[in-house]
């Protein structure tokens, strides 16, 4: 008797301000997702195409999340487009929550999501069947390491602000977003030892009072249409630059941040907690051929 072929693997496609993801529901953590397979799925020509992959697993089933299972039922096992593992993704958390809502695992109200950057609190409104309706993520407190780098593009160079939102960011305030050049590859920065595993780099301009715009190079993904943790880092850096640090003033501060893919709103509170509000939409669902996950690089040719 011949062995039946492996069953196709369910997936969905979603985005938050056009930062797009392949979602792979796997509650019991039964799938193997090596870096090469993730990179193939995220490939925009030979795969599904995405800035990253959201592996949806129950916290109790994943060794990296079991310690958080008492706080959060679900773990966002996030991978960059090149297959590398990442600590957090702000847009990804919103899309992750939208999937759980769509699948009937949760309703409206508050939700806790385990990530490698800690447990994130999410608030969902009812929205519409198509997924419209903003989602707010309580992103935690920013850490501001003293070590900084200088980022260089061509003949221009800028000092940066080091902001960690569960993942590292270098924020550069510039006169023109075009000065960032080609962000498909990581702009050089010195000293490189500050970010030995790479860094997300944001180039930021002012659009008005408490209103910013940015372009971003995400490590492992290149330039993306949006970066939620990056927008948070930019708002935190701007508050320090503008002299409105909520921990000092005792007053929350809100920044609107325009990204190539849409708009996010960030509020930092006096206790240091940062809230991010924005959309999250599921746009498609289907099945992955199992061979795409197991195909070797030599077979690919």
Tens digit of each residue's pLDDT (9 = 90 or more) over 196-226: 999 999 999 999 999 999 999 999 899 999 9
Q: Which residues pair with 208 in a beta bridge?
A: 211
Structural domain that includes position 269: 150-278
Question: Residues 20-48: what's their mean pLDDT?
Answer: 96
Is residue 1 domain-resident? Answer: no
Question: Residues 4-33: what's their mean pLDDT?
Answer: 93
The answer, yes or no, to whether residue 5 has pLDDT greater than 50, is: yes
Could you tell me if 21 and 121 lie in one domain? Answer: yes
What local confidence, expressed as pLDDT, does residue 3 receive? 63
Whether residue 118 is annotated as binding a ligand: the answer is no
Buried b (16+ CB within 10 A) or exposed e, 111-137: bbbbbbbbbbbbbbeebeeebebbbbb
Helix, strand, coil percentages (3-state) for the chain, rounded to 5, are 20, 40, 40
Q: Out of 23, 227, 276, 282, pick the active-site residue.
A: 227
Is residue 43 domain-resident? Answer: yes
Sorting pLDDT into bands at 50, 70 and 90, what band is 30? very high
For tokens 């490189």, what's the residue? Answer: 192
CATH number, domain containing residue 75: 3.10.310.10
Could you tell me if 83 and 165 lie in one domain? Answer: no
227 as an active site residue: the answer is yes
Could you tell me if 67 and 158 lie in one domain? Answer: no
Question: Residues 49-56: what's their mean pLDDT?
Answer: 97
Is residue 209 domain-resident? Answer: yes
Q: How far is CA 268 from the centre of its chain?
A: 18
Is residue 142 domain-resident? Answer: no
Could you tell me if 129 and 247 lie in one domain? Answer: no
Q: Out of 57, 89, 231, 281, pick the active-site residue.
A: 89
Whether residue 154 is annotated as binding a ligand: the answer is no
The answer, yes or no, to whether residue 156 has pLDDT greater than 50, is: yes
Question: Domain tally for the chain?
Answer: 2
Could you tell me if 250 and 173 lie in one domain? Answer: yes
232 as an active site residue: the answer is no
Buried b (16+ CB within 10 A) or exposed e, 202-214: bbbbeeeebebbb
Query: What DSSP state is assigned to residue 225?
Result: S
Question: Residues 127-136: what's their mean pLDDT?
Answer: 68
Is residue 44 domain-resident? Answer: yes
Is residue 4 domain-resident? Answer: no
Whether residue 19 is annotated as binding a ligand: the answer is yes
Task: With CA atoms as reference, report the closest residue to 23 among 58, 45, 50, 60.
Answer: 50
Count of residues for the chain?
301
Whether residue 162 is annotated as binding a ligand: the answer is no
Whether residue 229 is annotated as binding a ligand: the answer is yes
What local confidence, expressed as pLDDT, does residue 142 receive? 96
What local confidence, expressed as pLDDT, does residue 108 receive? 83
Asked if 50 contacts 42 with a C-beta cutoff of 8 angstroms, the reply is yes
- Measured N-to-C along each axis, helices 228-241 and 90-102 cross at an angle, to the nearest 10 degrees, of 140
Q: Please give the angle made by the CA atoms of 68, 42 and 167, to the nearest 5 degrees.
A: 40
Residue predicted with more confidence, 241 or 127: 241
Could you tell me if 169 and 274 lie in one domain? Answer: yes
Whole-number Cα distances in Å, 296 to 4, 40, 159, 184, 299: 21, 11, 43, 26, 5
Least confident of 19-33, 63-77, 124-138, 264-278: 124-138
Could you tell me if 126 and 13 lie in one domain? Answer: yes
pLDDT digits (tens, 9 = 90+) for 63-87: 999 999 999 999 999 999 999 999 8
Examine residue 239 and say whether the peptide bond preceding it is cis (omega within 30 degrees of 0): no
Could you tell me if 34 and 111 lie in one domain? Answer: yes
Whether residue 219 is annotated as binding a ligand: the answer is yes
CA distance 147 to 160: 10
CA distance 259 to 281: 16
Could you tell me if 232 and 271 lie in one domain? Answer: yes
Whether residue 91 is annotated as binding a ligand: the answer is yes
Could you tell me if 158 and 128 lie in one domain? Answer: no
Is residue 268 domain-resident? Answer: yes
Is residue 250 domain-resident? Answer: yes
CA distance 272 to 291: 46
Q: Which residue intervals of 24-174 are DSSP H helices?
A: 35-42, 90-102
What local confidence, expressed as pLDDT, does residue 132 receive? 60
Terminal Cα distance for the chain, rounded? 31
Question: Residues 30-55: what's their mean pLDDT?
Answer: 96
What local confidence, expressed as pLDDT, does residue 299 receive? 44
Q: How far is CA 129 from the centre of its chain?
A: 24
pLDDT digits (tens, 9 = 90+) for 245-289: 999 999 999 999 999 999 999 999 999 999 999 999 999 999 998
Question: Residues 121-125: what's their mean pLDDT?
Answer: 90
């Amino acid at each position: 008797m011949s062995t039946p072929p492996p069953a196709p693997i369910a997936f969905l496609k979603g985005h938050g301000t056009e930062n797009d993801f392949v979602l792979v529901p796997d509650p019991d953590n039964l799938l193997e997702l090596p870096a090469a397979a993730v990179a193939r799925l995220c490939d925009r020509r030979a795969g599904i195409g995405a800035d990253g992959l959201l592996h949806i697993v129950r916290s109790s089933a994943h060794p990296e999340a079991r310690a958080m299972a008492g706080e959060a039922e679900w773990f966002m096992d996030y991978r960059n487009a090149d297959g590398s593992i990442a600590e957090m993704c702000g847009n990804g958390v919103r899309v992750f929550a939208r999937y759980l809502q769509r699948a009937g695992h949760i309703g409206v109200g508050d939700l806790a999501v385990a990530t490698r950057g800690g447990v994130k609190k999410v608030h969902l409104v009812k929205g519409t069947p198509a997924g419209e309706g903003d989602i707010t993520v309580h992103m935690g407190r920013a850490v501001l390491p003293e070590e900084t780098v200088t980022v260089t593009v061509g003949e221009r160079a800028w000092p940066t602000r080091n902001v960690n939102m569960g993942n590292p960011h270098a924020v550069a305030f510039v006169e023109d977003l075009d000065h960032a050049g080609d962000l498909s590859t990581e702009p050089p920065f010195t000293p490189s030892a500050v970010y030995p595993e790479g860094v997300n780099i944001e180039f930021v301009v002012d659009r008005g009072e408490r209103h910013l715009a940015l372009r971003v190079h995400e490590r492992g993904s290149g330039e993306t249409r949006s970066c939620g943790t990056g927008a948070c880092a930019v708002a935190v850096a701007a508050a320090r630059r503008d002299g409105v640090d909520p921990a000092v003033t005792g007053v929350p501060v809100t920044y609107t941040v325009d990204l190539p893919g849409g708009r996010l709103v960030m509020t930092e509170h006096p206790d240091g907690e940062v809230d991010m509000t924005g959309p999250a939409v599921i746009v498609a669902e289907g099945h992955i051929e199992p061979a795409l996950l197991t195909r070797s690089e030599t077979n690919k040719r």
